[in-house]
């Protein structure tokens, strides 16, 4: 991806980052994720991030855990706040643009109610170099994607998608297609672009096959 001059270099990514646990929400490098912030602890988090490096880690909670002690997945995706506005009812509407995935080295003390972790970036250093990586079969991938979008009855701009190079394309789909949280987690934990695309093909094919076996009845 073409990085903004405001984005950190890989070497300057922060050691400790605030995290926003949210099921189904990932923000892959170069992709924009709109967020509506209203809980006091996360308003504190955003305000503190804006006063520092603008970096926030999106991480999915582990399902079936106690609401008062939510466990976290071991891999998340960090983004930089690239725009925000304050509403009259006390919310912050912002856009987080993906920077790099991270592993959770350890969780550290909360600040103002929000959670923080020590981020291990090393495993995902390649996120800074994926823009020019090419899929082994782009045409076949688009064929599967067409079938999946049709089965999901989604609206999508095929012209805009077709203009994306392979790295930004796969990252955009990882972030915004309606995969299950566990499926999104598997995608962001898959390091290489081609391997991630292959996993996505499998998930899309499985969904299409399941809909066909059910007679494509809406659910």
- CATH number, domain containing residue 91: 2.30.130.40
Among candidate residues 125, 160, 186, the one where a domain is terminated: 125
Q: Is the pLDDT reported for residue 68 higher than 90?
A: no
Q: Does residue 87 form part of some domain?
A: yes
Q: Is the pLDDT reported for residue 41 higher than 80?
A: yes
Can you tell me the mean pLDDT for 122-131?
87
Looking at the fold, whether 155 and 68 belong to one and the same domain comes out as no
Q: What pTM did the predictor assign?
A: 0.90
**3 state SS of 61:** strand
Q: Does residue 47 form part of some domain?
A: yes
Percent of the chain residues topping a pLDDT of 90:
83
Q: Does residue 190 form part of some domain?
A: yes
Can you tell me the mean pLDDT for 116-144?
90
User: How crowded is residue 207: how many other Cβ atoms within 10 Å of its Cβ?
Assistant: 19
Looking at the fold, whether 92 and 114 belong to one and the same domain comes out as yes
pLDDT at 211: 85
Name the pLDDT band for 70 (thresholds 50, 70, 90): confident
Looking at the fold, whether 108 and 14 belong to one and the same domain comes out as yes
Looking at the fold, whether 19 and 52 belong to one and the same domain comes out as yes
Q: Is the pLDDT reported for residue 216 higher than 70?
A: no
What radius of gyration do the chain's Cα atoms show? 18
The boundaries of the domain holding residue 109 are 10-125
Looking at the fold, whether 28 and 120 belong to one and the same domain comes out as yes
Pairing verdict, β 55-59 and 32-37: unpaired
Q: Which residues of 91-123 are buried (b: 16+ CB within 10 A; e: fewer)?
A: ebebbbbbbbbbbbeeeeeeeeebbbbebebee
**3 state SS of 10:** helix
Looking at the fold, whether 108 and 184 belong to one and the same domain comes out as no
Q: How far is CA 193 from the centre of its chain?
A: 14
**Beta-strand runs (E) in the chain:** 16-21, 32-37, 55-59, 75-86, 92-111, 114-120
Q: Is the pLDDT reported for residue 131 higher than 80?
A: no
Looking at the fold, whether 30 and 104 belong to one and the same domain comes out as yes
Looking at the fold, whether 19 and 96 belong to one and the same domain comes out as yes
What total number of domains does the chain contain?
A: 2
Of residues 64 and 197, more confidence is placed in 197
Looking at the fold, whether 118 and 28 belong to one and the same domain comes out as yes
Q: Does residue 88 form part of some domain?
A: yes
Q: Does residue 160 form part of some domain?
A: yes
Looking at the fold, whether 197 and 100 belong to one and the same domain comes out as no
Among candidate residues 125, 146, 171, the one where a domain is terminated: 125
Q: Does residue 3 form part of some domain?
A: no
Name the pLDDT band for 3 (thresholds 50, 70, 90): low
Q: Is the pLDDT reported for residue 219 higher than 60?
A: no
Looking at the fold, whether 87 and 155 belong to one and the same domain comes out as no
Looking at the fold, whether 165 and 67 belong to one and the same domain comes out as no
Query: Considering only CA atoms, which of 79, 93, 83, 76 is closest in space to residue 30?
Result: 79
Among candidate residues 71, 102, 125, the one where a domain is terminated: 125
Name the pLDDT band for 66 (thresholds 50, 70, 90): low
- Give per-residue pLDDT as tens, 168-204: 999 999 999 999 999 999 999 999 999 999 999 999 9
Of residues 68 and 32, more confidence is placed in 32
- Give per-residue pLDDT as tens, 71-125: 999 999 999 999 999 999 999 999 999 999 999 999 999 999 999 999 999 999 9
User: Among 1-10, 150-159, 198-207, which stretch is predicted with the lowest mean pLDDT?
Assistant: 1-10
Q: Does residue 26 form part of some domain?
A: yes
Q: Is the pLDDT reported for residue 218 higher than 80?
A: no
Computed over every residue of the chain, the mean pLDDT equals 92
Q: Does residue 5 form part of some domain?
A: no
DSSP string, 109-124: EEETTEEEEEEE-GGG
């Amino acid at each position: 991806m073409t990085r903004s001059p405001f984005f950190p270099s890989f070497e300057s990514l922060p050691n400790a980052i605030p995290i926003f646990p949210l099921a189904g929400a990932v923000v892959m490098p170069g992709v924009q994720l709109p967020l509506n912030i209203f809980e006091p602890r996360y308003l504190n988090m955003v305000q503190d991030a804006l006063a520092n490096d603008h970096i926030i880690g999106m991480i999915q909670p582990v399902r079936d855990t106690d609401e008062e002690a939510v466990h976290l997945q071991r891999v998340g995706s960090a983004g930089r706040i690239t725009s925000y506005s304050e509403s009259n009812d006390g919310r912050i509407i912002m856009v987080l643009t993906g920077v790099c995935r991270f592993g959770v080295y350890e969780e550290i003390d909360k600040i103002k109610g929000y959670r923080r972790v020590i981020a291990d970036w090393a495993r995902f250093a390649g996120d800074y170099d994926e823009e020019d990586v090419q899929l082994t079969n782009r045409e076949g991938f688009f064929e599967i994607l067409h079938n999946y979008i049709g089965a999901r009855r989604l609206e999508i701009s095929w012209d805009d998608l077709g203009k994306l190079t392979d790295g930004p394309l796969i990252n955009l789909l990882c972030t915004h297609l309606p995969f299950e949280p566990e499926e999104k987690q598997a995608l962001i934990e898959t390091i290489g672009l081609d391997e991630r695309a292959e996993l996505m093909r499998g998930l899309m094919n499985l969904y299409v096959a399941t809909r066909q076996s059910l007679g494509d009845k809406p659910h």
